Structure 1
Amino acid sequence: MYERVIRESMRVEDLRTYLHGPTLRRVWHHLWLPRKVRGLWESRFRTLAGAA
């Protein structure tokens, strides 16, 4: 579900509703995302780039 929300959400409210920060950091490196999308998110949310 996180992959789909990240790729397809058009509104910030959707991201806030469906994504939980601590869970997102925990599963970040398991998500299959396009390279550009991953890079954009990691540049905006630096903690994702270092998430294990």
Structure 2
Amino acid sequence: VFILIPVVFFLVSAFLVIAPIVQDPRIEILYALFFILGGLVLYFPFVCFKLDRGCF
């Protein structure tokens, strides 16, 4: 894939996420952001690094 396509897609996606937050910051947006960040905190150790939970 030509590198310009993913770069443009990323920039447009980032704009679509950041523009509403800057234009109208509300507490509900922070709740969603914390929920997403919480998922990333769990994703990296358990999926990327294949950390075993020790149960199941």
What TM-score do the two structures reach when normalised by structure 2? 0.27
Larger radius of gyration: 2
Per the normalisation by structure 1, the TM-score is 0.27
Higher relative contact order (CA 8 A, sep 6+): 1
